[in-house]
Amino acid sequence: MCGRYTQTHSGADLAAAFQLTTEPAPPPRYNIAPSQPISAIIAGREYRIFQWGLVPSWAKDYKIGYRLINARSETAAEKPSFRAAFKRRRCLIPADGFYEWQRTASNKKKQPFYIHLRERPVFAFAGLWEQWEGGDGSYLETCTILTTEPNELMEPIHNRMPVIIPKTEYDRWLTAAPRQVQGLMRPYDADEMEAYPVSTLVNSPRNESADCIVPLGG
């Protein structure tokens, strides 16, 4: 799964990396957590802000989104919660790293790891987004991050990892037919990634500073 991540690049960096129609102004984020507002790019290279945790259009209660922060790529096209979004509303979610927790030998505590691409560029998670209207007239735009099997780097840490879309495939992910994007939902090349343990500071979403990504003991 993917339950925490970072996005510390500037709006100018995002505009250049994703060829955006406008330059956003996101603050640096070192511990992004579910239910929070997050950056996303939709078809047309439009920058949007969505709430993390997808609420299907047919849901009676928006709280279902708390359980739908991730979607398994293997079943997203068929699952009732995700299939409409998978068909019509795919998005890119900018990031420059993410966290995962590894079980320790005692199995009582988990060790957080920070995972990023070499040279630490901004990259994109594969996402789905949805629109929801409540009976009281409330309106939400929400999203989820797709996950896949782990690569060789991630396998010792966790049994899932987020789907990372190569920059050459951004338009394909955003606009192609569902059958044409199935091959994009695969583990990212482990040779292009790095991981290291960090402190348990990241365990609390209240901690939102660069200290979260400092190597353990560093």
Which sequence positions are flagged as catalytic? Answer: 2, 100
Helix (H, G, I), strand (E, B) or coil at 4: coil
Helix (H, G, I), strand (E, B) or coil at 106: coil
Backbone φ and ψ of 180, nearest 5°: -90, -5
Determine the Cα–Cα distance for residues 44 and 172; give it in Å rounded to an integer: 12
Closest CA to 92 of 179, 169, 13, 203: 169
Please check whether residue 162 is in contact with residue 144, taking contact to mean a CB–CB distance below 8 angstroms.
no
Can you read off the two tokens belonging to residue 178? Answer: 């569902």
The single residue listed with the structure tokens 């995962």 is: 100
Could you count the other beta carbons within 10 Å of the beta carbon of residue 33?
A: 18
Q: Which residues pair with 91 in a beta bridge?
A: 127
